Structures are given as C-alpha cells and as structure tokens.
C-alpha cells in the first residue's frame, strides 16, 4: 500500500519506518526542512534503539522517503496518518492547531478517495473536527470528493517502540464506516498473523482509550509513590510491599515501582489533557487531579532528602554527582524529566553537578547550554570524583551493578540518594555507604 505519514517526530518516524519494513511504500512529510534534510542524509533526530538501522534499510530499499511537500504526500497515500505534535496549551489541554492545519492541507490537495487517520494523541472529538475541516475545505473548492476518517492511537513505549509496533499487544481502530475498517485491516494484516490483535470501536471510544490507558498507568505510579512516602513514616519497606501486592494477579508487577516521579512526553501531557476534557464537560476528575499533584510533588522528594541530610544552605560549592538525565532508560528524552527538577534545585542550592547519562548529554546541552556548575561526564565513575553525594534519577541498566569499591574511592563522601531504588540498601551499607532510597528509610 502507499502510505503517507504527516509528522516525522517520534510517533510518525517509528510508524512510517515500521510500515515500510513490512513492504508498504511510505512517504513521510514534515514542514521542518532541516529535519527532512537530516533524515535524507541518514541522520535520525531521536534516540530509539534499532531505529537508525531500520530507517537506513528501508530508505535503501526505496520503501521509505522524506519530503516537505504536503501536496505530494496527499497524492501518494491511500491512507494518510496525521502524526504531528499536540503540545499542552496554556490551560493544560492539547493544542490541536497542527492537527487541524494538516487536515486543512489535505482538504486543499485531495483529488480522490483517501482515509485520513489521527495517529497523534488527541482529545475525544478531534477526529470529528478533522472531518469537519476536510468537509469544509473540499466544499470550498466546489468539489465532492469522498473520504473517510479514523482514529488509530499509538501505544509505543520510548526505548521499545519498534518491538511495540512490530509485535503489538493491541491495534485500536476507531471508525464509523466499513470501507475504512477494511483497508485498516489490510494495512495491519502483517502484524496479525498469530491472532487478531485489532480492536474496532467507535471513534470517541478509541480516542478516550488512549488517554485512559496512559492515565491509569500514571495512577499506578503515583499510588506507589504515595505508599512509598507513607512507608517511610511507618518504618515499612516499600520493596517488600511492592512484592507483596504484585503477587496478586489482579494487580501484577507492572508500573508499581516507586521513584522520583514520572516524566516524558506522554503521561504528564495526557493526564493534563484528560483533566481538561473532564473540566470542559463540567466534571471534576478528582483522581486525575490527585495523580498529577502527587507526581509533581514526588519530583522534589530527592531534594527534600538532600536538604534533610546536608541542612539548608550547606551545598554552596559542593560537587554532587547525578546519574541519569533522560526521563527513562533507552531514550534521550528529557521532557518533564525528574532530572530537570533535581538539577535546577541543586543549582539553586549552590551545588556544582557532574552528570552522566548514556545518551542524553546532547539533549542536556541543548536545554541548559554551557554552565560552570554543570559537567557532563563521559563515564559514570568520572562523575563521582570528589562528589559529596551521588543522586540516581534514571534506572539505566549500566547503573545496576557498579564497582562499589571504585565508587567509594572516588567519592569525597560515600552517600547515595537512590531515586529509583535500584540498589540493595544492605549491600551499600556493608560497603561503607550511607543510603537514602524511596520508601526504604529504615532498611538501609
């Protein structure tokens, strides 16, 4: 099939590449000339394991191309995916300007039947708005051209997006006409060989499912962070609690790890957007409000622990090591990352930070530029030289089994603030470290 993807950000680039991988001819369109030039020269603008090789393979096979010409994209694709950004606007709702602008462009250039699919995460009712823009724009050309609209939300985890797309646990399609459903089934047939993973529903339900899924996962995280904070006050060990509740198959072990808060481009934005949607309908979504409040507060927990240890005003000129800048492992994404709250809080307290992250150095430089109080170390142990403390913010695998003797030898003060509970408190204590985890105060 000929497929067009409008938007070459995270979702668009992964979607287009994976659809090309199974034999489709995919044209990716983006208004950013510099990004398209970079993609055409083999540069990948995001870090996603395996994506660069897959893009190169499909470009070489001439199944994947990149352009800035939306008119060319509309002419090419039988199915046109809208995968542009929907950043939060000032009141927390999703900004749909780019989505609706693309709909207008499609309406201006469409000449024959097309299926227009919203792939971006959008509030309930957006696909109907896309339909309205298409209808009005085509009517303004004094034409009568048939088209279908559908919702096909993505469920890609950063760091595992290719596997998520190629081996999906579900494929959601919201559509109201049989023709669109039939063509979407054909498109996704290569991903359905073992069993049918495609779930067809009405458009509003598909749009809400995406927000509900991310909001529920965020709720689990905030709930565990609440329990961790309570465990500290009760003398309980949250790791034991986690294992105890996770053994219940109704709960399971996924997304019940306490820490220093969630970040990224999805959970914070989607919880806020769903809150805004509820508010717009006159409904007070109290659970969602609490989820966001708990998460925002949790990002400061490490700073509170640092203040408790050192005392107010005691960090002036102190060197603090920080392991992890990305909001999660296997990505360089620092959007809404807890590391940013920790970094900026340490600087406010007068500390100098030596940070290490396997892939997010470039992104950190883009955000913060050159600073005298920030060193981006090339090795995790180099960040420890002369450090008064180590703060762990991202649970990269490379941090899980370090050389504790080498760590202690390089640190001025063997103190660890573990924001992801990746270490065994007893083991660190036996090696002469002071340890402060999340919900593990009395189990060091």
- Annotated catalytic sites, by residue? 266
Structure token digits, residue 60 = 């070489």
* Cα–Cα dist 418/392, whole Å: 5
Tell the residue number behind the tokens 């997304």, with chain if given.
Answer: 255
Which is nearest to 20 in space by CA: 71, 54, 70? Answer: 54
* Cα–Cα dist 211/123, whole Å: 8
- Parallel/antiparallel/unpaired status of strands 171-175 and 147-151: antiparallel
Map residue 66 onto helix, strand or coil.
Answer: strand
Which is nearest to 360 in space by CA: 329, 391, 382? Answer: 329
Do 407 and 247 meet the contact criterion of CB atoms below 8 Å apart?
no
Q: What is the dihedral of CA 75, 77, 80, 84, to 10 degrees?
A: -80
* Cα–Cα dist 55/72, whole Å: 20
Query: Who contacts 293 (Cβ-Cβ below 8 Å, separation ≥6)?
Result: none
Instruction: Quote the radius of gyration of the chain (alpha carbons, Å).
Output: 24
Which residues are paired to 177 by β-bridges? none
Tell the residue number behind the tokens 């070489």, with chain if given.
Answer: 60
Buried/exposed code over 247-285 (b: 16+ C-beta within 10 A; e: otherwise): eeeeeeeeebbbbbbbbbbbbbbbbbbbbbbebeeeeeb
Do 99 and 116 meet the contact criterion of CB atoms below 8 Å apart?
no
């Amino acid at each position: 099939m000929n497929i067009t993807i409008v938007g070459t950000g995270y979702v668009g680039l992964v979607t287009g590449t994976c659809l090309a991988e199974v034999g489709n001819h995919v044209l990716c369109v983006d208004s950013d000339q510099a990004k398209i030039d970079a993609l055409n020269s083999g540069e990948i603008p995001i870090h996603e394991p395996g994506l660069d090789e897959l893009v190169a393979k499909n470009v070489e096979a001439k199944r994947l191309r990149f352009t800035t010409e939306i008119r060319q994209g509309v002419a090419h694709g039988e199915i046109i995916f809208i995968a542009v950004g929907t950043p939060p606007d000032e009141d927390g709702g999703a900004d749909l300007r780019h989505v609706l602008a693309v709909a207008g462009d499609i309406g201006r250039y469409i000449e024959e039947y097309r299926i227009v699919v919203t792939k971006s995460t959008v509030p309930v009712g957006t696909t109907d708005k896309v339909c309205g823009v298409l209808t009005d724009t085509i009517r303004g050309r004094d034409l009568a051209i048939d088209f279908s609209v559908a919702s096909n939300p993505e469920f890609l985890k950063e760091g595992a997006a290719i596997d998520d797309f190629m081996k999906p646990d579900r494929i959601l399609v919201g559509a109201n006409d049989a023709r669109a459903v039939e063509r979407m089934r054909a498109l996704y047939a290569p991903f359905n060989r073992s069993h049918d993973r495609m779930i067809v529903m009405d458009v509003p339900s598909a749009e809400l499912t995406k927000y509900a899924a991310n909001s529920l996962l965020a709720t689990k995280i905030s709930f565990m962070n609440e329990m961790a904070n309570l465990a500290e006050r009760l003398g309980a060990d949250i790791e034991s609690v986690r294992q105890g509740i996770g053994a219940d198959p109704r709960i399971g072990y996924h997304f019940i790890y306490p820490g220093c808060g969630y970040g990224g481009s999805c959970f914070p934005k989607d919880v806020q957007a769903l809150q805004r949607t509820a508010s717009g309908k006159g409904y007070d979504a109290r659970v969602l409000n609490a989820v966001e409040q708990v998460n925002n507060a949790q990002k400061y927990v490490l700073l509170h622990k640092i203040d408790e240890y050192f005392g107010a005003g005691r960090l002036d000129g102190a060197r603090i090591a920080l392991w992890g800048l990305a909001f999660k492992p296997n990505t360089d994404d620092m959007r809404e990352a807890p590391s940013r709250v920790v970094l900026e809080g340490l600087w406010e307290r007068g500390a100098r930070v030596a940070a290490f992250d396997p892939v997010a150095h470039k992104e950190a430089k883009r955000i913060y530029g050159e600073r005298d109080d920030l060193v981006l170390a090339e090795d995790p142990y180099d960040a420890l030289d002369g450090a008064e403390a180590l703060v762990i913010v991202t649970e990269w695998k490379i941090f899980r089994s370090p050389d504790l003797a080498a760590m202690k030898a390089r640190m001025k003060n063997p103190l660890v603030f573990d924001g992801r509970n990746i270490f065994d408190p007893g083991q660190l204590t036996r090696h002469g470290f002071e340890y402060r985890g999340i919900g593990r105060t009395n189990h060091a």
